[in-house]
Amino acid sequence: MKLTFRWYGDSDPVTLEQIRQIPAMSGIVSAVYHVPAGELWSLESILALKEKAAAAGLAFEVVESLPVHENIKLGTDCRRLMENYAENIRRLGQAGIKVICYNFMPVFDWLRSDLNKPLADGSRVLAYDHGAMERLNPARSELSLPGWDKSYSREQLQELLRRYREVDEEQLWANLAAFLQKIIPVAEEAGVKMAIHPDDPPWPVFGLPRIIVDEASLERLLGLVESPANGLTFCTGSLGANPQNNLPRMIKKFAGRIPFVHLRNILITGDKCFQEAAHPSSCGSLDMYALVKALVESGFDGYVRPDHGRMIWGEEGRGGYGLFDRALGATYIAGLFEAVEKMKACRNGTA
């Protein structure tokens, strides 16, 4: 397992030097953030990021995300966009990137209804309440929430939502299949693994289809192109928001096709309602030990990162992506892996 940490580049209040000081940390997960979706990332900008990380003693082998342009998801007018995506994969491979995380969520990425929910202990967390979410009108709202793409004007957003009225779940699946058939052979050649991020939350929001949500859909996704380069970002907080999802079973079932894991806990607070929690099992609804055990037992040797943290100790910063609680999460994750791996070695008589 290689422990990594998401870094948002020079504008991130968390510095590479701070990340480097987290025990057992091996690298960053990052992206070329200034280039709009659909455009080319220059090789120089990718290499510059790699060198910056290396100068701080960190590897840069995982990209999160290489965004998929809406026209690809809509399946219209996307030949040049697909070619650019493929070229970006080639360049990332050339720069030594091993895993590319992406998602196929229409219009919005991850969504939360509250960015600052205060908890009894004085910490603040991100939270999601489906009723509250659906009462917001994305075409009119002035709100800015994670997942809200600020690069669209209100008119552009309305137009995009209108175009999605023609795209139901099956059409979205067909567009995803066309995309993967084009890019997976390129990823294979470039020595890169594509790792789709599940939809967060794992159900439709604002009437937009969301299709990467459970065991059946992950199985369908992997079957679209049977290749180790067509893999998953196994995000425990996203999939775990639906209590029907049996995460350890999914990890075992999809062993070998999970190059990247987001290990995060959430507390389910009601039907389609949850809040982010500190990483330990006792703080939320997920059994983090069972998840790590399933990963170790299925021979996982990919990249892991702690995910959304609470805001604690007075830290201000990017919602979910402060330093302190994610660093605590990282050391907890490292501890779980050490214990489970040593137990496995004992059982196998190799320790």
| Residue 321 appears among annotated catalytic residues | yes
Helices (H) and strands (E) in the chain, counts: 12, 12
Q: By three-state DSSP, how is residue 225 classified?
A: coil
Q: Which of 12, 101, 130, 197 is catalytic?
A: 197
What residues have CB less than 8 Å from 324, skipping those under 6 apart?
Answer: 309, 312, 313, 315
* Rounded Cα distance, 240 and 242, in Å: 5
Which of 5, 41, 108, 110 binds ligand DNO (CB under 6 A)? It is 110
How far apart are the two ends of the chain, measured CA to CA in Å? 18
Please check whether residue 233 is in contact with residue 195, taking contact to mean a CB–CB distance below 8 angstroms.
yes
Place of tokens 């659909």: 38
Q: Which is nearer to ligand DNO, 130 or 308 (CB)?
A: 308
Which of 26, 45, 65, 246 binds ligand DNO (CB under 6 A)? It is 65
Binders of ligand DNO in range 231-290 (CB under 6 A): 262
| Residue 197 appears among annotated catalytic residues | yes
Q: Which is nearer to ligand DNO, 11 or 350 (CB)?
A: 11
Q: Which is nearer to ligand DNO, 98 or 262 (CB)?
A: 262
* Rounded Cα distance, 351 and 302, in Å: 22
Q: By three-state DSSP, how is residue 26 classified?
A: coil
Which of 197, 210, 293, 305 binds ligand DNO (CB under 6 A)? It is 197
Shortest spacing between CB 198 and ligand DNO, in angstroms: 8
Shortest spacing between CB 164 and ligand DNO, in angstroms: 18
**Which among 297, 204, 304 is positioned nearest to 252, based on CA atoms?**
297
* Rounded Cα distance, 127 and 116, in Å: 8
Binding segment toward ligand DNO, per CB under 6 A, in 98-106, 112-120, 136-144, 278-286: 98-106
Question: What one-character-per-residue DSSP string does 69-130 give?
Answer: PHHHHHTSS-HHHHHHHHHHHHHHHHTT--EEEE---SS--S--SEEEEEPTTS-EEEEEEH
Binding segment toward ligand DNO, per CB under 6 A, in 40-48, 99-107, 248-256, 337-345: 99-107
Measured from the Cβ of residue 6, the count of other Cβ atoms closer than 10 Å reads: 23
Binding segment toward ligand DNO, per CB under 6 A, in 77-85, 96-104, 215-223, 265-273: 96-104
| Residue 69 appears among annotated catalytic residues | no
Site string for ligand DNO, 154-193 (x = CB under 6 A): ----------------------------------------
Binding segment toward ligand DNO, per CB under 6 A, in 50-58, 101-109, 136-144, 204-212: 101-109
| Residue 235 appears among annotated catalytic residues | yes
Shortest spacing between CB 344 and ligand DNO, in angstroms: 28
| Residue 34 appears among annotated catalytic residues | no
Which of 2, 40, 109, 149 binds ligand DNO (CB under 6 A)? It is 109
Rounded to 5 degrees, φ, ψ at 29 are -115, 125
Binding site for ligand DNO (CB under 6 A): 64-65, 101-103, 109-110, 197, 262, 308, 320
Give catalytic residues, as residue numbers: 197, 235, 262, 307-308, 321
